[in-house]
Amino acid sequence: MDTVVAAPRALLGRTITGPAYVRIRAGRIVEVVAGEPPAGAEVLADGLLTPGLVDIQINGAVGVDFAEVDAAGMRVVAEALPQTGVTRFLPTLITAPVPVGLRQARAVLAASAALPEGVGARPLGVHFEGPFLSPLRPGVHDPALMVEPGAAEIDALLADEVLRRALRMVTLAPEQPGGMEAVRRLAEAGVLVAVGHSDATGVQTREAADAGARMVTHLFNAQRPLGHREPGVPGVALVDERFTLGLIADLAHVGPDVCRLVFNAAGHRVALVTDAVAAAGMPPGRYQLGGADVLLTEDGVPRSPEGTIAGSALTLDRAVRNIVSVGVDVADALASATIVPAEAIGESGLGRLAPGAVADLVWWDEGLSPRKVWVDGRVVFDADAGGVVGAVVGYATAGQ
């Protein structure tokens, strides 16, 4: 039996139009029509209908660190994320020795596979942020655990067929010995390669793109900065159309004016990410990131005990609102949390309201807060009905 959801406004492609409705059958969108709905449709009285948000860099949330996740922890995160509009997410693992990272990745995949059908947001595989990074740009990653991306290390990532299929993204520093060859091998294997935690020059950043790199991890953060003669990583990324630009829009990692500058220069290539850690959605306190302590204080920015920013407590709906607050068009902000990240990881059936796409939907209120969320055509969050549908745990509103 078909389900029809209609709204006064909807994000179709990168444009907000309306009224419009979508027809859902067996978890997929089979029809999208700009116009008045047919009889029997669920008519949303106000607000905006969009695709579900896609977060392709998230280390954990609601007290759960993906480096130490089990089935119960994954379910907690999966149930929590739809309240922030997220329907698909890419668990991210930070720098660890390669054997440890592989063990962590297998645990993430096992926990993902254990999620019951119809429960919350759905994981998309795994993202390795490290250990092939530059000790010169470590951020909160431990430089002692970083290694060069030699042939044996890349072999280890690609040898396991199950893990190879689930490995969606690797962030690395291409200027490290063996880096360009690693970019080529991973790209040829269908993995999205992102330049990040990198001291690459502008020339080296372009060389990485020539080798197959297609993304920059958290633009401006933990990379050689933009200069007026040496563009570094961000300077090249802003002008090279091959790169998708990951941006942590908590307005702490990157200031408001620079966020606006990024959208002015390359808004159609920006993918909003949270880089959220276990502290996201939790009160101030001590949490974990890859086995290390992270402190969340009243300012809402997680930091290492030494004071280095350690991921974020951001949620993706808050990122959208933040970007709108600096003057970016609502449609452009929403596209950066839907279609752009989905396309970056090769998921043409996500992040859009279009025939054939997965029926992941978000109904937003006038203040751009999620009011109702569908995953695979099923309602998983309904604020008017008390919140998470079928949840076994609660969720604390994020403090960002």
Residue 240 backbone phi and psi in degrees, to 5 = -90, 110
CB 12 within 8 A of CB 353: yes
Q: What are the tokens at 261?
A: 């500058």
Closest by Cα among 307, 300, 200, 174 to 248? 300
The confidence score (pLDDT) of residue 390 equals 55
The domain made up of 52-344 is a member of CATH 3.20.20.140: yes
Domains 3-49+355-388 and 52-344 equal at CATH topology level: no
The confidence score (pLDDT) of residue 388 equals 75
d(CA 296, CA 193): 30
The confidence score (pLDDT) of residue 164 equals 93
Q: Peptide bond preceding 123: is omega within 30 degrees of 0, i.e. cis? A: no
Query: How remote is the C-alpha of 182 from its chain's centroid?
Result: 23
Query: How remote is the C-alpha of 38 from its chain's centroid?
Result: 35
CB 236 within 8 A of CB 219: no
What is the number of alpha carbons within 13 Å of residue 75 lying toward its C-beta?
Answer: 15
Q: What are the tokens at 8?
A: 């006064």
| β-bridge partners, 153 | none
d(CA 221, CA 233): 10
Known binding-site residue numbers for substrate: 140, 221-222, 229, 253, 309-311
How many C-beta atoms surround the C-beta of residue 106 within 10 A? Answer: 15
* Helix 232-239 and helix 202-211, axial crossing angle in degrees, nearest 10: 50
Of 275, 317, 365, 376, the active-site residue reads: 275
DSSP annotation string for 202-265? HHHHHHHHHHT--EESSTTSSBPPP-SS--HHHHHHHH-TT-EEEEE-SSSSS-HHHHHHHHHH
User: 300 by DSSP, 3-state: which?
Assistant: coil
* pLDDT averaged over 10-residue windows placed end to end, the chain, 400 residues: 95 96 97 94 96 98 97 98 98 97 98 95 98 97 97 96 95 98 98 98 98 98 97 98 98 97 98 97 94 90 92 97 98 98 97 98 98 97 82 37
β-pairing verdict for 122-123 and 126-129? unpaired
Known binding-site residue numbers: 129, 140, 197, 218, 221-222, 229, 253, 309-311
Q: Peptide bond preceding 131: is omega within 30 degrees of 0, i.e. cis? A: yes
Specify the fold of 3-49+355-388: Urease, subunit C; domain 1 (2.30.40)
CB 130 within 8 A of CB 222: no
CB 354 within 8 A of CB 363: no
Known binding-site residue numbers for Zn(2+): 129, 197, 218
CA 25 → CA 30, 39, 150, 353, 375, distances in Å?
A: 6, 17, 47, 13, 13
Straight-line distance from the first to the last Cα atom of the chain, in angstroms, rounded to the nearest whole number: 40
d(CA 117, CA 114): 9
d(CA 4, CA 20): 10
The confidence score (pLDDT) of residue 335 equals 98
Please, what is the Cα angle at 67 between 65 and 69, to 5 degrees? 65
Where in 148-207 does DSSP place strands (E)?
167-172, 192-195
Closest by Cα among 46, 153, 23, 150 to 369? 46
CB 287 within 8 A of CB 62: no
Question: For this structure, is 275 an active site residue?
Answer: yes
Please, what is the Cα angle at 318 between 377 and 270, to 5 degrees? 85
The confidence score (pLDDT) of residue 387 equals 75
Please, what is the Cα angle at 358 between 356 and 359, to 5 degrees? 110
Q: How is the chain split into domains, by residue range?
A: 3-49+355-388, 52-344
The confidence score (pLDDT) of residue 395 equals 32
Q: What are the tokens at 243?
A: 């790169």
